[in-house]
Amino acid sequence: MNINAFSLKGKIALVTGASYGIGFAIAKGMAECGATICFNDINEELMHKGIKAYEEAGIKAHGYVCDVTDEAAVEELVKKIEAEVGVIDILVNNAGIIKRIPMCEMSAADFRKVVDVDLNAPFIVSKAVIPSMVKKGHGKIINICSMMSELGRETVSAYAAAKGGLKMLTKNICSEFGGANIQCNGIGPGYIATPQTAPLREKQADGSRHPFDQFIISKTPAARWGEPEDLVGPAVFLASDASDFVNGHILYVDGGILAYIGKQP
């Protein structure tokens, strides 16, 4: 086995919604393995915040403002990246939202919004990059799925529906374009320690864990939350030549939650 198979040197990666959080960690890890990073976010403020974060990490990233649910805007984004940077070798469909609302209290408009960002957008961006990947003869698409691609939970009906659909979109892209040497796989993060989940991990006044924190730790064989960096190795593997015969697979990075029935009460 040639260790250089894990190198991303000379590759151009587009990571959507990668100004911060999981997307930023994955893009930073890919850059450290040699990839040139392009990323987008929904507005100028977030895009410039991302550029600053990459600069502080010693990375020259190419930032763009683009709404990934807008098909025409995405097509222009891809054309611009191809003209300014080069043909995209690696796409990470990371941009996503969640609305935690009980199903019977959720409007159809809110449901559609989650599905639009979490499922329609990966379809739109993948469709925009695939033709050039086919011409080039090689491409990698990584969809950021979720444990909710497999499991349901209260208040996340739209998110679970979208992420379940994204799992099947992943398998279908594999089925349709595997013969063109395009590998499409997914990563399913477990519960990851990010600024957004920080309130759920705060110590209570009596020094005890937050109830949700207790719940996650009890359900995770690793007995901890994941860190964004835990997703970097799997992402680099799926973006590299080392995974050329891995296709249509969802790699769950969850500390073992999906393998575990839980402790007996």
Annotated catalytic residues are: 159
The C-alpha atoms of residue 53 and residue 193 are separated, in whole angstroms, by 18
CA 185 to chain centre: 11
The C-alpha atoms of residue 141 and residue 248 are separated, in whole angstroms, by 10
Buried b / exposed e along 39-48 (16+ C-beta atoms within 10 A): bbbbeeebbe
- The sign of the dihedral angle between the CA atoms of 114, 117, 119, 124 is positive
Residues near 4 by beta carbon (within 8 Å), at least 6 away in sequence = none
Residues near 92 by beta carbon (within 8 Å), at least 6 away in sequence = 13, 14, 15, 16, 18, 23, 26, 27, 142, 144, 235, 239
The C-alpha atoms of residue 59 and residue 196 are separated, in whole angstroms, by 24
> Which pair of tokens denotes residue 254?
């969850």
H or E element: which one contains 139? strand 139-144
Burial class for 161, CB neighbours closer than 10 Å (0-12, 13-18, 19+): middle
The C-alpha atoms of residue 75 and residue 94 are separated, in whole angstroms, by 17
